[in-house]
Each structure stands twice: as C-alpha cells, then as structure tokens.
Amino acid sequence: MKKVVIYTDGACSGNPGPGGWGAVLMYGQFKKEISGGEKMTTNNRMELMAAISALSALKEPCEVDLFTDSAYLCRAFSENWVTNWQRNGWKTSGKKEVENRDLWELLIAHTHKHSISWHKVKGHSDNAYNNRCDELARGAIAGCKAKQNGVK
C-alpha cells in the first residue's frame, strides 16, 4: 500500500459565512495542492470537506497520515466519537443530533478504503504545510466572495 501524507485545513469568513478548504497531498517527491469553497457554510464543514476532498483525490487504497489543526475532526476518530455516534443512532452523548452527519458518513466511507492515522497539529504556527493549507482555504474564500459580488 502506498504511504501518503496529507495536510488539511478549513476556514470561514463569519461562521456561518463564505468558507474554504485546502489540502496538500504528498507521496514520495510528488506534491499536489487542492482547494475549494462554498458560499454559505461553517468552519467545521470546511474542515471536514478538506479531509474528504483530499481522500477522494487518492486513486487507490493508501496508508494515510492525515494532519489537521481541527480538534473536532481529529478527536472524532481518535476518541471514537464517530463509532459512538453511529451506535447511538447519530446522537451525541447529550442526545442531540450529530451536526454534519452527511460529511461524517462520507469520511467514514474513506476509512473503509484507506488506512488513516489522524494527527492534530497546532494551527497558525510554524508548520509550513498547515500554513499552506490555510492559505489555500483563505484563497478559496476570496474566490467565493468574488463570485458573490459578480466578479469573474
């Protein structure tokens, strides 16, 4: 199985508001950057979309080290929140509906295809790849805002 390193980040201008995500995928000497955005979304949705989009870009099952500055994303897998949500009918420990279920289900599907190790990194610090993902996400937000204002 190929070993791939992925860094992801999501961002929002207002929460909710225009949002963007960015990811850097690395395999050997190869590096690929991807990004995207939505007109009206939340920061958490963009964090999830970054991971989903990066994993979707992989053409075959891989061993993945996925780095994120999102405690929400990382802890959902490392602390088995996702497993508990599924077992509890997609309810939180407080008996509320799990937010972003649609995206969590997409991510879970990727965990069946790839062997993923989740890693939490400090955001907005000295990690060049995390900082690059933030730049990509903020660039996608700018693109969404430009489209909203009629700029092509």
Q: Is 126 one of the annotated active-site residues of the chain? A: no
10, 19, 22, 37: which one is catalytic? 10
Per-residue pLDDT of the chain (152 residues; tens, 9 = 90+): 999 999 999 999 999 999 999 999 999 999 999 999 999 999 999 999 999 999 999 999 999 999 999 999 999 999 999 999 999 999 998 999 999 999 999 999 999 999 999 999 987 788 999 999 999 999 999 887 776 666 55
The pLDDT assigned to 100 comes to 97
- Of 9, 19, 20, 37, the catalytic one is 9
Catalytic residue at 9? yes
Question: Which residue among the candidates 14, 63, 105, 124 is catalytic per the annotation?
Answer: 124
Catalytic residue among 36, 47, 110, 114: 47
**How high is the pLDDT of residue 45?**
97
Write the DSSP symbol of residue 91: B
What does the pLDDT read at residue 126? 87
Let me know if 112 is a catalytic residue: no
- A 10 A CB-CB count for 99 gives 14
Question: Looking at the whole model, is its pTM more than 0.85?
Answer: yes
Nearest residue to 34 via CA among 151, 121, 152, 132: 132
Q: Write down the catalytic residue from 19, 20, 38, 69.
A: 69
**Cα 104 to the center of its chain, rounded Å:** 10
- Cα–Cα dist 71/63, whole Å: 21
Question: What is the β-pairing status of strands 17-27 and 30-41?
Answer: antiparallel
> Is 69 tagged catalytic?
yes
Query: How much is the pLDDT for 148?
Result: 64
Look up residue 7 and give its two tokens: 């860094």
